[in-house]
Amino acid sequence: MLGLVWAVASGSAAAAELKVAVAANFMAPMQKMAAAFERETGHKLLMSFGSTGRLYAQIRNGAPFELFLSADDETPARLEREGLAVAGSRLTYATGRLVLWSPQPGVVDAQGEVLRRPPNGPLAIADPKVAPYGRAAVQALGALGVLDAWRPRFVQGESIAQAHQFVASGNAPLGLVALAQVFDHGRLLKGSAWVVPAHLHEPIRQDAVLLVRGQGHAAAAAFMRYLRSEPARALIWGHGYED
């Protein structure tokens, strides 16, 4: 179970430390961005990865995060309304894509027709109650008219990282996961995949927001600027995200 995973960006001595809550789908690009950001600024990122719902609950319960990179745009807006995030600080740093993935070649066809066949084994998704990618998965299956057939076969991870782990470990032959988890700069890392057409689910707009604890924090302001920079945008695009 992924739970709350802490990672510290390596590199030179830091000018300041910044505690960042990050949606699990963004783990791979965020780790690369953290290393580059530290090299450029001297600031050090202390990162916690998890489902958006779980991280939201942590923030509500007083976790000392200063920035939040969500997997949706609704949760940062809610934090603003609740007075836990700085009003007007939100920005959309990425739009995510959903992918049907198997670590085995030839299992997923180029049109995703495997979803229209009778289920053969479980299908891993993130919990739609707490994970935006899980909600998108349910919406896509519904749009395809196959939700009722697959629902009894769901294996739900608390986060999209855990859903991916279920598939990668062989506990589920298929999963609806984040494209960024299996794609890097135009290359499928392993297996077979079908990128779910974006019109089959609501847009997965991912917002970052400055939390109240980070107000006036130079490293927080610097990282929000860095998210808009060309190097950061190139890295985000390279992992399959869109603007």
User: Which pLDDT tens digits describe the chain residue by residue (243 residues)?
Assistant: 334 333 333 333 447 899 999 999 999 999 999 999 999 999 999 999 999 999 999 999 999 999 999 999 999 999 999 999 999 999 999 999 999 999 999 999 999 999 999 888 999 999 999 999 999 999 999 999 999 999 999 999 999 999 999 999 999 999 999 999 999 888 999 999 999 999 999 999 999 999 999 999 999 999 999 999 999 999 999 999 998
Kindly state whether residues 109 and 193 are assigned to the same domain.
yes
Determine the structural domain holding residue 229 and report its residue range.
5-95+205-238
Which CATH number belongs to the domain containing residue 10 in this structure? 3.40.190.10
Name the residue type at position 204.
I
- What pTM, to 2 d.p., does this model score? 0.88
Please check whether residue 243 lies inside any domain of the structure: no
Number of folded domains in the chain?
A: 2
Kindly state whether residues 147 and 217 are assigned to the same domain.
no
Kindly state whether residues 160 and 220 are assigned to the same domain.
no
Sheet containing 67-69: which strands, arranged edge to edge?
5-8, 44-50, 17-23, 67-69, 204-210, 91-96
Please check whether residue 165 lies inside any domain of the structure: yes
Which DSSP state fits 165? Answer: H
Contacts of 144 (CB under 8 A, 6+ apart): 112, 115, 116, 200
Please check whether residue 89 lies inside any domain of the structure: yes
Six token digits for residue 109: 């066809």
Please check whether residue 152 lies inside any domain of the structure: yes
Kindly state whether residues 91 and 101 are assigned to the same domain.
no
Kindly state whether residues 153 and 165 are assigned to the same domain.
yes
Kindly state whether residues 226 and 193 are assigned to the same domain.
no
**Alpha-carbon gap, residue 4 to 67, rounded angstroms:** 16
